[in-house]
């Protein structure tokens, strides 16, 4: 029976608990329920009253394809609201091997307490002095842990960004290639971990409890059908594996929706230089790899190994949003510089989306010139050094706006917007405005319907249909995140008549409980209700469900479309 | 007929307007009405859509005692809500001499536009290149303006804090002694002026329009009675003139309500070292002055000239709140260091209350040691230098908390709390929680009833009566601020049965319009309604009408009282 492990970071006590009221939940549904029930909504996110929850999905530990995503939940230092930050890596599938559904970090020690590494076994928790890795970037720190715990290391750790409690700091997780390259990127989860003075969490490599499906035959059949669904869709079987998510650069640029120079226009003249095609070509020329999975059991393989000019490993998990953030949004054309920034962000433990936007704000504020990749790299490198500019950068867009006197801040609920201009992709604009997460594309990815023509076709320039599609996607996404599935399964599920059934069948066969499309949707709705309830208690109102004014007052070239939804209209995208 | 002068800081156009719908208003009632009507509540405070309003009160330009206070209004970069920041100095009384009731700065130029000085005459506005004083501290910049415009200079200006748009930046005004020592201190009004690229505003020294009361005989009589009221109360005739506001140090410390070490206890062991008595003694020993007024016509004379050890002028307007903020709250015992910090804040154009609290946060975050005055001075001196730490400091408490990873942040609506612990002075706690201004003692100074026993006696440790007294004081204060009177007249008005009548008689005689206690209260109520309406549109809810959680969870020594009001209970302190 999976358990919840609660760890008091001040007293160093721990306890294993039965699931109790949390039984049946997983992933985001679990983290959001627990945070909503147990964290005072009005507490400071860095205070002892906040909690940090790590949970695999309902399918964690199974052999279901693409079911190894991790949810990290807490009150967000960035948004002040609830947060589920989703990551790949090996952590989620490993938890059930320790008979764990979730780990909860509670309380916090004094601010000057030394950082600790938590070594977690099936039977207990060891607090180990982390002075050997405190202050280090994640790659070298991860190397040290590999030396200590061996090649089967599964860890989550913060970088210098989290150590200094930067609101844009991440938690980095071990990927299948022994690198800390997967991020719970958004919302400053690293700062919460840093405030609790935990540098790293290591899951006992030796732990190996078996996950046995309740209905083995049905599970085997369902698992296979599910693989067929994923392999039957061109996006999940060809587009993503060949080019990674950066295949979107040219597509979104063509659609006039690639935010350029801090959301001034929708097309970047140098888009081709930073495109997925260019990246794939570069990777091949340098003997890198174009197809890697972020977790065991991934059959989509959208990740990659991007090597530098000397053919040495530089980065992976090099996503479209990262390429956009440092590229088009900052007018930086050099893909190697952008790849370097991706690596620096992983090393420092800071979110690439928030950082790309933050660098653009530094350019707005005249701190560095537009398009200057070398200067941008220098800025990112300041995080975790004695230079206080690094503290400004590590705190994200709104913070940098305050520091540099900039008022053009593309944020919703304090979190900066990703790589789709909401004026030209209104469905995702609705998601930005209304998801409890703050500006976030993954929470309801209407880019499918607005741009990719997956799961239907809805004009991204017009209002019609976009509130509804965002709402439906937000529900489905919350459920997918709760099952622990990779969001990209949605491409196939949306277009394949058998997709939802196949997905639900794996859950039912694994748990032995009824799980149909109805239970799937209810799981999503209930998760969103938890999140909305928390945010309401934290003081959010419908006034917060709106984009910054400049999206309304400035039309976006080349299609000259503006944001024209009112905050009232946005309420239709929220579950009741 | 007084007019409103509107100046477009981008196009450099200006126009003089009739009062129109703003007739009858003055001071805070005018600034808050105009901001509420004309500024989009959801705009960014540093955007072109925000406006910055300078208005004298209804009695500005008259000889009524203590009627020369200035209101500066805008959307606040610090709170995100409406702001009226109140200042002494010569500006308010000078405006009517140019036939002006108010000046409104609108729009803004590009961020890299050079700073300008506005020279304002009765007939127009001249934009003058400010490159000779841009980047300078206020005292030397003011000296330059004195050289250019002569001894009758009346100016308002920003320091380096405002130039870099720090959320805690002030606007400094010429005092009667040719110093830029009076501040519109709270809420970051300097940042709004900085975003509009205006370094200084100079009012034509030659302008000399006469203010003629509508009813000269009645005015003469009312004016005299009013002087008698002020001179008849021990606080306004003896306490304040002798020792300045710092007379409160020992009183509030004795009451166990002097916030010490970032609001951890209510008594400071070294209170005597920073007391009003000590300051007065030091001033006398160094041939300074204990009685100065902040504007012409002041008969309370709570200001002073504080000299350094060599007998040279160091600072003035050296208030209790400043002494507390750098003293007890940071555990700094050296009154000369505190005085130096007061001067630095005036030079840099940053708010002393926000800065004292910010220094305490830097101490919490381990940036400098507790009680280290020299290190605190060094931090303040970084504002406006190339050091990015200065940008962090200039943005106040919540910002520094973000930069330094500190969660113990004594702020309401983003503005830090002043020198009275709300757990032991609950009436002022209610004001902190509910005034549209954010954490602010001046908005409803229930210290009178809770500690000083002026205007009645209400136990500051208990809940009873404190919501009501705060509400009544908030209304009276808004009216006093609208008339342009110094808030300290309230001591006399509250205790003298003739006080309100005498005050109202001066207004009626000056304007020729009916003005009784009813009109006085209506002026306050309507002003608050404007402010609450703006804040509501800006997204504030009753969740924002609450103190940070640690005031509820931690009892304050020595009386071990905690904050026990709910946000719902707070609603009773707001006008309907």
What average pLDDT does this structure show over A144-151?
97
Are the C-beta atoms of residues B515 and B213 closer than 8 Å to each other?
A: no
Q: Cβ B541–A539 below 8 Å, yes or no?
A: yes
Nearest to B55 by CA among B6, B126, B121: B6
Query: Would you put residue B555 in left (φ > 0), alpha (ψ -120 to 50) or beta?
Result: beta
pLDDT confidence bin for B134, thresholds 50/70/90: very high
Instruction: Name which of A111, A388, A409 is nearest B388 (Cβ-Cβ).
Output: A388
The 3-class secondary structure across A21-38, one letter per residue, is: HHCCCCHHHHHHHHHHHH
Please give the share of chain A, as a percent, with pLDDT higher than 90: 95
Nearest C-alpha neighbor of B14 from the set B125, B127, B97: B125
Average the pLDDT over B141-147 and give the result: 98
β-bridge mates for residue A556, sequence order: A561
Q: What's the CA gap between A524 and A528, in Å, rounded? A: 6
pTM of the model: 0.95
CA distance A157 to A202: 9
A494: confidence class by pLDDT, cuts 50, 70, 90: confident
Write the CB contacts of B374 (distance below 8 Å, at least 6 apart in sequence).
Answer: B337
Paired tokens of A490: 């949605």
Is the pLDDT at B17 greater than 80? The verdict is: yes
> Does the distance separating the beta carbons of B405 and A46 come in below 8 Å?
yes
Across the interface, whether the CB atoms of A402 and B194 are under 8 A apart is answered no
| pLDDT for residue A442 is more than 80 | yes
Residues forming a β-bridge with A149: none
Contacts of A407 in chain B (CB under 8 A): 44-47, 195
Query: Angle at the Cα of A104 (from A100 to A106), degrees rounded to 5?
Result: 155
Residue B392: pLDDT above 80?
yes
**To the nearest whole angstrom, how far is the Cα of A363 from the nearest Cα of chain B?**
12
CA distances for B344 relative to B139, B162, B306, angstroms:
10, 14, 14
Of A267, A200, A361, the closest CA to residue A560 belongs to A267
Q: How many CA atoms lie within 13 A of B344 on its CB side?
A: 24
Residue in A closest to B413 by C-alpha: A539
pLDDT for residue A185: 97
**CA dist., res. B144 & res. B150, Å (int):** 10
B328: DSSP letter: G
Q: What ipTM does the predicted assembly reach? A: 0.92
Whether residue B1 has pLDDT greater than 80: no
The tokens describing A527, both together, are 């998760």
Q: Which of B364, B408, B539 sits opposite A544 (nearest CB)?
A: B539
Contact between A86 and A77 under an 8 Å Cβ cutoff? The reply is no
Distance CA B294, CA A117 (A): 58
Alpha carbon B160 to its chain's center:
19
From first CA to last CA, the distance across chain A in angstroms is 34
**Side-chain half-sphere of A566: how many Cα atoms within 13 Å?**
2
Write down the pLDDT at residue B494: 86
**Which residues have a Cβ under 8 Å from the Cβ of B290 and sit 6 or more positions away?**
B241, B242, B243, B244, B280, B283, B284, B304
pLDDT (tens digit, 9 = 90+) per residue, B260-288?
999 999 999 999 999 999 999 999 999 99
Yes or no: say if B390 and A391 are a contact pair by the CB < 8 Å rule: no
Whole-number average pLDDT of chain A: 97
All residues of chain A having their beta carbon less than 8 Å from the beta carbon of residue B552 are: none
Residue of A nearest to B541 (CA): A539
pLDDT digits (tens, 9 = 90+) for A226-279: 999 999 998 899 888 888 999 999 999 999 999 999 999 999 999 999 999 999
Burial annotation B455-492 (CB, 10 A radius, 16+ → b, else e): beebebbeeebbbebbbbbbbbbbbbbbbbbbbbbbbb
How far, in Å, CA of B397 to CA of B414, rounded?
8
- Residue recorded with tokens 């800006």: B538
Residues B406-434 pLDDT 10s? 999 999 999 999 999 999 999 999 999 99
Strand, coil or helix: A171: strand
- 3 state SS of A516: coil
- pLDDT for A525-568, tens place per residue? 999 999 999 999 999 999 999 999 999 999 999 999 999 999 99
pLDDT of residue B497: 85
pLDDT (tens digit, 9 = 90+) per residue, A41-93? 999 999 999 999 999 999 999 999 999 999 999 999 999 999 999 999 999 99
Radius of gyration of chain A (CA): 22
What is the per-residue DSSP string for A206-271? T--PPP--SSHHHHHHHHHHHHHHHHTSHIIIIIHHHH-GGGHHHHHHHTT---BTTTTBS--TTG
Per the DSSP assignment, residues forming a β-bridge with A7 are A14, A105
Residue B339 has pLDDT above 80, yes or no: yes
Whether the Cβ atoms of residue B287 and residue B267 lie closer than 8 Å to each other: no
State CA B456 to chain mean position distance: 25
Show the tokens assigned to A453.
């023509």
Cβ distance B503 to B497 under 8 Å? Answer: no
Q: Look at residue B35 in the predicted model and tell me its pLDDT.
A: 98
Looking only at the bridges linking them, the beta strands covering A125-129 and A289-292 are: unpaired
Q: How confident is the model at residue B239 (pLDDT cuts 50, 70, 90)?
A: confident
Beta carbons of B543 and A537 less than 8 Å apart: yes
Phi and psi angles of residue B520, each rounded to the nearest 5 degrees, phi first: -60, -50
**What's the pLDDT score for residue B420?**
98
Closest chain A residue by Cα to residue B365: A111
Residue whose entry in the numeric block shows the structure tokens 């180990």:
A128
* pLDDT score of A386: 87
Q: How confident is the model at residue B555, as a pLDDT?
A: 98
**A387 interaction partners in chain B (CB closer than 8 Å):** 388
pLDDT band at B480 (very low <50, low <70, confident <90, very high): very high
Residues 6+ away with beta carbon under 8 Å from A565: A426, A429, A430, A433, A463, A467
Nearest Cβ partner for B405 among A40, A194, A365: A194
| DSSP string for residues in B7-55 | EETTT--EEEE--GGGTT--HHHHHHHHHHHHS-TTS-TTSTT--EEEE
Determine which helix (DSSP H) or strand (DSSP E) holds B402, and give its type and residue range. Answer: helix B396-404
CA B5 – CA A564 distance, rounded (Å): 34
| Mean pLDDT along residues B462-468 | 98
Res. A1 pLDDT band, cuts 50 70 90: confident
Residues of B with CB under 8 A from a CB of A: 40, 42-47, 49, 77, 111-112, 164-165, 167, 191, 194-195, 364-366, 387-389, 391-392, 395, 399, 402-409, 537-539, 541, 543-544, 546, 548-549
Round to whole Å and give the CA distance between B452 and A529. 49
* Mutation target among A402, A545, A566 for the B interface, most CBs of B within 10 A: A402
pLDDT at residue B308 in the model: 97
10 Å CB burial of residue A63 (0-12, 13-18, 19+) is middle
Is the separation of the CB atoms in B383 and B341 below 8 Å? no
List C-alpha distances in Å: A228 to A291, A448, B47, B471. 19, 21, 53, 68
User: Which of helix, strand or coil describes residue B120?
Assistant: strand
pLDDT of residue A37: 98
Strand B14-17 vs strand B52-56: parallel, antiparallel, or unpaired? unpaired
Asked if B549 lies within 8 A of A195 by C-beta distance, the reply is: no
Other C-beta atoms lying within 10 Å of the C-beta of residue A3:
18
Query: What per-residue confidence (pLDDT) applies to B499?
Result: 93
- Cβ-based contacts of B165 with chain A (< 8 Å): 404-405
Q: Which of B44, B191, B403 sits opposite A391 (nearest CB)?
A: B403
pLDDT band at A206 (very low <50, low <70, confident <90, very high): very high
Nearest CA in chain B to A163: B405
Residue A555: other Cβ atoms inside 10 A: 12
**Residues of chain B contacting residue A188, judged by C-beta atoms under 8 Å apart:** none
For position B242, what pLDDT does the model report?
A: 83
Rounded to the nearest integer, the mean pLDDT of chain B is 97
Pick the residue from chain B with its C-alpha nearest to A195. Answer: B405
- CA distance to A56, A94, A122, A467, per residue, from A3 (Å): 12, 13, 10, 39
pLDDT digits (tens, 9 = 90+) for B151-179: 999 999 999 999 999 999 999 999 999 99
Rounded distance between C-alpha atoms, residue B143 and residue B158, angstroms: 14
């Amino acid at each position: 029976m999976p358990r919840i492990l609660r760890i008091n970071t001040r007293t160093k006590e721990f306890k294993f608990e039965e699931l109790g009221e949390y039984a049946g939940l997983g992933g985001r549904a679990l983290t959001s329920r627990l945070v909503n029930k147990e964290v005072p909504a009005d507490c400071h996110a860095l205070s002892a009253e906040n909690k940090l929850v790590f949970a695999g999905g309902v399918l964690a530990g199974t052999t279901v394809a693409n079911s190894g995503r991790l949810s990290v939940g807490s009150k967000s230092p960035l948004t002040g609201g609830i947060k589920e930050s989703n990551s790949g890596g090996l952590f989620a599938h490993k938890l059930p091997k320790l008979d764990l559904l979730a780990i909860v970090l509670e309380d916090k020690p004094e601010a000057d307490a030394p950082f600790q590494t938590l070594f977690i076994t099936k039977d207990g928790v060891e607090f180990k002095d982390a002075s050997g890795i405190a202050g280090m970037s994640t790659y070298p720190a991860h190397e040290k842990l590999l030396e200590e715990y061996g090649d089967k290391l599964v860890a989550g750790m913060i970088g210098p960004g989290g150590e200094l409690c930067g609101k844009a700091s991440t938690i980095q997780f071990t990927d299948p290639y022994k690198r800390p390259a997967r991020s719970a990127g958004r919302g400053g989860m690293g700062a919460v971990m840093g405030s609790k003075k935990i540098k790293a969490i290591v899951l006992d490599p030796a732990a190996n409890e078996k996950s046995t499906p309740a209905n083995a035959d049905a599970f085997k059949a369902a698992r296979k059908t599910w693989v067929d669904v994923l392999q039957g869709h061109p996006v999940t079987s060809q587009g993503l594996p060949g080019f990674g998510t950066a295949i979107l650069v040219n597509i979104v640029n063509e659609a006039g929706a690639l935010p350029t120079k801090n959301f001034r226009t929708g097309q970047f003249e140098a888009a081709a230089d930073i495109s997925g095609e260019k990246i794939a070509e570069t990777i091949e020329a340098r003997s890198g790899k174009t197809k890697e999975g972020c977790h065991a059991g991934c059959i989509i393989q959208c990740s990659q190994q991007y090597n530098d000019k000397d053919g040495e490993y530089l980065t992976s998990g090099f996503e479209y949003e990262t390429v956009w953030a440092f590229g088009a949004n900052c007018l930086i054309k050099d893909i190697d510089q952008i790849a370097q920034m991706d690596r620096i962000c992983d090393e420092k433990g800071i979110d690439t989306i928030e950082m790309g936007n933050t660098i653009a704000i530094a350019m707005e504020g005249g701190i560095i010139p537009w398009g200057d990749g070398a200067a941008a790299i220098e800025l990112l490198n300041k995080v975790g050094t004695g230079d206080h500019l690094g503290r400004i950068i590590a705190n994200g867009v709104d913070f940098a706006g305050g520091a540099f006197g900039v008022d053009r801040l593309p944020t919703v609920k304090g979190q900066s917007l990703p790589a789709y201009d909401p004026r030209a992709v209104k469905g995702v604009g609705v998601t930005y405005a209304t998801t409890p997460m703050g500006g976030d594309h993954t929470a309801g990815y209407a880019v499918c319907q607005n741009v990719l023509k997956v799961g239907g076709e809805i004009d991204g320039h017009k209002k019609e249909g976009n509130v509804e599609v965002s709402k439906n996607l937000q529900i489905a996404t919350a459920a997918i995140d709760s099952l622990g599935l990779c969001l990209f399964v949605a491409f196939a599920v949306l277009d394949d008549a058998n997709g939802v059934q196949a997905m639900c069948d794996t859950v039912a066969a694994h748990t032995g409980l009824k799980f149909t499309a109805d239970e799937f949707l209810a799981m999503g709705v209930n998760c969103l209700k938890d999140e909305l309830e928390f945010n309401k208690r934290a003081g959010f109102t419908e006034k917060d469900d709106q984009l910054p004014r400049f999206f309304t007052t400035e039309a976006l070239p080349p299609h000259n479309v503006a944001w024209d939804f009112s905050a009232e209209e946005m309420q239709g995208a929220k579950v009741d």
